[in-house]
Amino acid sequence: MSYDAYLGGEPVIITAALTGGVHGKEANPNIPETPEEIGRAAADAEAAGASVVHLHARKPNGERAFSTERFQAITDEVRARTDDIIVQHSTGGTGAPLEVRRQPLRTDPAPEMASLDMGPLNRYDHLTSENTRGMVDSLHDEMVERGIKPELEVFNDGHLNETHQLLDRRSLADPVYATLIFGSGTLTRPRPRNFLNAIDNLPEGARFNTLAFGRHQLPFAAMGMLFGGHVRVGLEDNVYYRRGELAESNAQLVERVADLASLLGREVATTREAREILGLESQR
């Protein structure tokens, strides 16, 4: 993917990360947490231009849930309330063992996509989300068994090496789809030159998605679109609409990048176009 791809005009896939599992309504009361709230947020995000929803599950008090049953309740609500959106489940889970992190892959139907964290990530002052290669391989293998496309989450440049090494160990279906993540802590520093470096070091033929936290969400979405990539926005990654003003909804953030795409001359991908780009077969 490159500036030529931007000029070539491939539609941009907008992923809406609706809820996450780190912060919740204590950070922004508009974050959807219950299955019904998440289902409604997915429908609104789809109407605003999202073709993929990235889902985490929560308990009624907002705390993280990983069970297949809880993911089933959420995915059922999302599928009932949306027309054709692509469902992507998270397999992230700081401090949760592999058996727990497999659970989101076991819904019926399986999600079309699932996230696959490519390596370690520090949390707070005394905790690391390990994501060992063994864990990455195990989650990947279960995704393949269940026909789920992995979305490779690249937290930093070291994870670009991990991505190349995963391709040495496993054969991934084309196109490889990697989300480049920018922010503080273990993430790649959110600087334009680091973004250019990251896209230069992707595996040949890979497609990329652009994710930056907080106030970096919008400028990095713009860069992602200009360099032929795709974008992820949503309250999981950024609770503000602008400095000092909490976002009203996920749809508000999706709508803004959809408007930006059209200003930049990139069509927003329909769900059908997104499936074509990602090499997915429709389940809906």
Q: Which residues bind other proteins (CB under 8 A)?
A: 21-27, 58, 60-64, 93-97, 100, 123-127, 184-185
Q: Encoding tokens for residue 176? A: 């490889």
Least gap, CB of 18 to other proteins (angstroms): 14
Nearer to other proteins, 124 or 200 (CB): 124
Least gap, CB of 245 to other proteins (angstroms): 17
Least gap, CB of 98 to other proteins (angstroms): 10
Asked whether 103 and 66 are in contact (CB, 8 A), the reply is: yes
Residue 135 three-state SS: helix
How far apart CA 92 and CA 86 sit, in angstroms, is 18
Instruction: Considering only the C-alpha atoms of the chain, give the largest distance between any 2 of them, rounded to a whole number of Å.
Output: 47
Nearer to other proteins, 184 or 197 (CB): 184
How far apart CA 81 and CA 10 sit, in angstroms, is 28
DSSP structure class, residue 105 = G
DSSP structure class, residue 248 = S
Nearer to other proteins, 19 or 249 (CB): 19
Least gap, CB of 54 to other proteins (angstroms): 16
Nearer to other proteins, 61 or 171 (CB): 61
Nearer to other proteins, 9 or 185 (CB): 185
Return phi, psi of residue 143, to 5°: -60, -45
DSSP structure class, residue 90 = -
How far apart CA 74 and CA 37 sit, in angstroms, is 9
Least gap, CB of 58 to other proteins (angstroms): 7
